[in-house]
Amino acid sequence: MKKKNFFLLQLSKLFHFKGSQNSFRNFYLTILSGLFFILFFSLTPKLALLKESYLLSSKEVKNESKNILEDVLSGKEIELEQKENIDSLQVFEDIFQYEDIPVSSVRLSAATIKQLFKDTNYNLKNVRKNKIVKPVNLELLPNEMKMIESTKERKNLFIQIVLPLILEENNQIKLDRKKLFLILNRSNNSKLEKKWLNLKFKQYGVKNQDIFTLKIRMDEIPVSLAIAQAAKETGWGTSRFALEGNALYGQWTFTGKGLKPLNADSTESHKVMKFQVLQASVRAYFRNLNTHSSYRKFRKHRADARDNNEKLDSMVLSDYLDEYAATGIEYTKILKKIIKQNSLKDFDDAELLPNSKLLKKMI
């Protein structure tokens, strides 16, 4: 018996057709079988989409805090941060976008910048006292940094320029951390929240939606430490890399655009990353310390301080940046010396006056 006739016979039994000689039987059965196949093939894709949609909507970011706490209390060792290598192109993608931003065609002179700070009543003496910083965001350093004879004056001008940039990055991270914890405290996440989380996983090089790794990496850097490293890497804003490439932290690159060190060996292929604006350099520095495997110890001790409700201490955290430079431990000693001699910890609790852009994010 052919399969078609077998199928028709089963339908005949199902609908109780009587009389095998009924001339219309095959006609009706053919119509019914045709309708059956049409419905089956038309509904199958919709059912598949419905299933996919259901699985997507039910896929929430899991907060394993309780389970991990139980493991800790039971004596198990917990590896908090992932060890996978990061994708630098993804991590720095939003920083590369600064290349598309038009910058001022005229580099402000040191005298003009000083007058600007004076007109806005922005000086470090007031900042140390009142802890308030004016949101003056400069794109480039003045070329005259080397020509400022007074060391104190040169240092003050450099701090005034980089301080608002560092505070802006920390403020953005504060907002992101606040949003992260709000999302984790909800039983269900919206599509926008999931999209935001996926973006942050990407920016911080986090794989497998590891929330603990994201919490460890998405955190602030003490202002005094960020100023000290910028001062050390640029000679308080006088280096060629800072003036020609807006590079405040001497980060290396082996691929993209960069400046070749003048005294580099012919076999050395690295360059110092250059940036369109100073803010991009600051953000790249934050992203570097918060993602690169060389600074895992730095992030671990910062996370420990957070867990113990301790203030982030630049003098302590400096010890874990020995891999930032070839000089190792000597480099960390220099950082602590810069912080102490210039009373940079005075700026750790400084706050940036909100500008219109920041206000929009906070509303």
DSSP states of 192-242 as a string? HHHHHHHHHHHHTT--TT-HHHHHHHS----HHHHHHHHHHHHTTTTSHHH
pLDDT at 197 > cutoff 90: yes
Inter-residue contact 318 to 302 (CB < 8 Å): no
Give the model confidence (pLDDT) of 45-57 as tens digits: 444 444 433 333 3
Give the per-residue pLDDT at 256. Answer: 62
Tell me the whole-structure pTM to 2 decimals.
0.75
| % of the chain at pLDDT higher than 90 | 57
Residues with Cβ within 8 Å of 14's Cβ and at least 6 positions away in sequence, in order, are none
Domain ranges of the chain: 3-58, 68-362
pLDDT of 31 = 59
Quote the CA–CA distance of 136 and 352 in Å, as a whole number. 10
Report, at the CATH architecture level, how domain 68-362 is classified: Orthogonal Bundle (1.10)
Contact 242, 248 (CB under 8 A): yes
Residues 51-98: tens digit of each pLDDT: 433 333 334 444 444 344 344 334 344 456 767 666 666 777 777 666
Separation CA 4–CA 177 (nearest Å): 64
Residue 193: burial class (beta carbons within 10 Å; 0-12, 13-18, 19+):
middle
Output phi, psi for 238, to 5 deg: -105, -5
Residue 345 tokens, joined: 């910890």
pLDDT in tens, 107-140: 899 999 999 999 999 999 999 999 999 999 999 9
> Residue 296 above 60 pLDDT?
yes
Pick the most confident of 12-26, 229-243, 253-267: 229-243
Percent of the chain clearing pLDDT 70 (strictly above)? 66
